[in-house]
Amino acid sequence: MRTTLDLLEDLLTKAMKTTKIETKTKVIITALEELIRKVRISELKTFKGSIDLNINTDELRGRKCRP
């Protein structure tokens, strides 16, 4: 999809140098993906302490535990 954006050239250049990404399109796509990832992580943090993840992997894998 083609979109016209008014971006700060120095900000875009700095992002490209920092990430070593060579195209403007790729650096913008990467930034958007990272933004989405951070928001999702933030949303997951709201569940901290409310989910019990005490899992016995031996039991899940059908292994017999030795006493």
Question: Is residue 29 in a domain?
Answer: yes
Domain interval for residue 26? 9-46
pLDDT, averaged in runs of 10, over the chain (67 residues): 94 97 97 97 83 77 71
Return the C-alpha torsion angle 3, 32, 17, 41, nearest 10: 180
Question: Is residue 67 in a domain?
Answer: no
| DSSP annotation of 23 | -
pLDDT of residue 9: 96
**8 A C-beta contact, residue 58 and residue 65:** yes
pTM over 0.85: no
pLDDT of residue 56: 80
Q: Work out how many domains the chain is built from and give that number.
A: 1
pLDDT of residue 23: 97
